[in-house]
Amino acid sequence: MSIFSSIKDAIFGHKPSAPAPAAAPRPAAPAATAAASIPASPVAAKWDAPVDVFHVLNDLAEKNPQKLNWKTSIVDLMKLLNIDSSFQNRKELAKELGYTGDPNDSASMNIWLHKRVMQELEKNGGKVPASLSA
């Protein structure tokens, strides 16, 4: 599994759970259209709305005993999600996401990584405030 997939899964897997609305009974379909009226699986329906990334991460941060600066630091974001934030792992993440700068310039790479991770989360169904992805 890619490092970005681990980040995405950690955030999207913590989607605040609202009680699922009770499914309305469907009228019986004629035999010819029965296959077309099969409802979507509950798992697929769970992700119909975008995941509020800020809300999920803020909730995790409030529960975390460490004071992590996840809003600007890729290292703290990864720590918050219990993902290895080592320099080697961040270099691998940068490679996955197409970083073209010097991977040994960790400060520049880290700034780029945080921004890029937020942009990728948005592309993958996350709702990310502009302040985190710009």
Per-residue pLDDT tens over the stretch 92-125:
999 999 999 999 999 999 999 999 999 999 999 9
- Which pLDDT does position 20 carry in this prediction? 43
Contact by Cβ (8 Å): 59, 14 = yes
Domain range for 107 is 3-13+49-133
Has residue 22 been placed in a domain?
Answer: no
Residue 42 forms part of a structural domain: no
25 within a domain of the structure (yes/no): no
Q: Which residues contact 127 (CB under 8 A, 6 or more apart)?
A: 50, 51, 52, 53, 54
CA distance linking residue 63 with residue 57, whole number of Å: 10
Rg of the chain taking only CA atoms, in angstroms: 19
Instruction: Kindly report, residue by residue over 55-100, the tens digit of the pLDDT.
Output: 999 999 999 999 999 999 999 999 999 999 999 999 999 999 999 9
CB atoms within 10 A of CB 127: 14
* Residue 18 belongs to a domain: no
Residue at 23 is within a domain: no
Does residue 71 form part of some domain?
Answer: yes
Tens of pLDDT, residue by residue over 8-50, are 999 998 645 444 444 444 444 444 444 333 333 333 334 457 8
| Number of domains the chain is built from | 1
